[in-house]
């Protein structure tokens, strides 16, 4: 059963503008492993927008919001086949399971971008 659905739509130029004015934004948003990937990417604005939108979509699907969820409690990872998935800290997993009165949850993620637009879609379901 689906427990939560979240989506976030961003302008890549908006996130680029934030990062250009406040470079510390990247370290606030990204986990250590995401920051390593960020340093090695050519399209830094697209990378930051992707992570921002994915985390925002998950925050909406979890009904916790960013303030309770925290940017450092969730990472966006790439599988060997290129698909994206969430890696969630034990602390965040506990909060979400408690919020939905579940013992276990599964999460799913999809993104798409075209020109200056990026959208992320997150689903949380019973485990």
Residues 42, 104, 113, 115: which is the catalytic one?
113
Which is nearest to 113 in space by CA: 30, 45, 58, 33?
45
In contact, 16 and 116? CB cutoff 8 Å = no
In this predicted structure, what is the pLDDT of residue 108?
97
Write down the pTM of the prediction.
0.95
Domains and CATH numbers, the chain: 2-126 (3.90.470.20)
44 catalytic, yes or no? Answer: no
In this predicted structure, what is the pLDDT of residue 62?
97
Question: What is the tens place of the pLDDT at every residue in 54-83?
Answer: 999 999 999 999 999 999 999 999 999 999
The 8-class DSSP code of residue 125 comes to E
Mean residue pLDDT across the chain: 96
60 catalytic, yes or no? Answer: yes
Question: What is the tens place of the pLDDT at every residue in 34-54?
Answer: 999 999 999 999 999 999 999
């Amino acid at each position: 059963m689906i427990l939560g659905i979240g989506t976030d739509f961003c302008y890549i130029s908006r996130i680029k503008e934030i990062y250009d004015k406040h470079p510390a934004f990247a370290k606030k948003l990204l986990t250590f492993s995401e920051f390593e990937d960020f340093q090695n990417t050519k399209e830094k604005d697209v990378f930051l927008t992707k992570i921002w939108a994915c985390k925002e979509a998950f925050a909406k699907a979890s009904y916790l919001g960013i303030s309770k969820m925290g940017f450092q409690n969730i990472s966006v990872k790439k599988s060997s086949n290129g698909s994206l998935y969430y890696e969630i800290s034990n602390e965040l997993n506990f909060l979400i399971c408690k919020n939905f009165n579940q013992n276990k949850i599964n999460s799913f993620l999809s993104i798409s971008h075209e020109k200056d637009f990026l959208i992320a879609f997150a689903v949380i379901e019973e485990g």
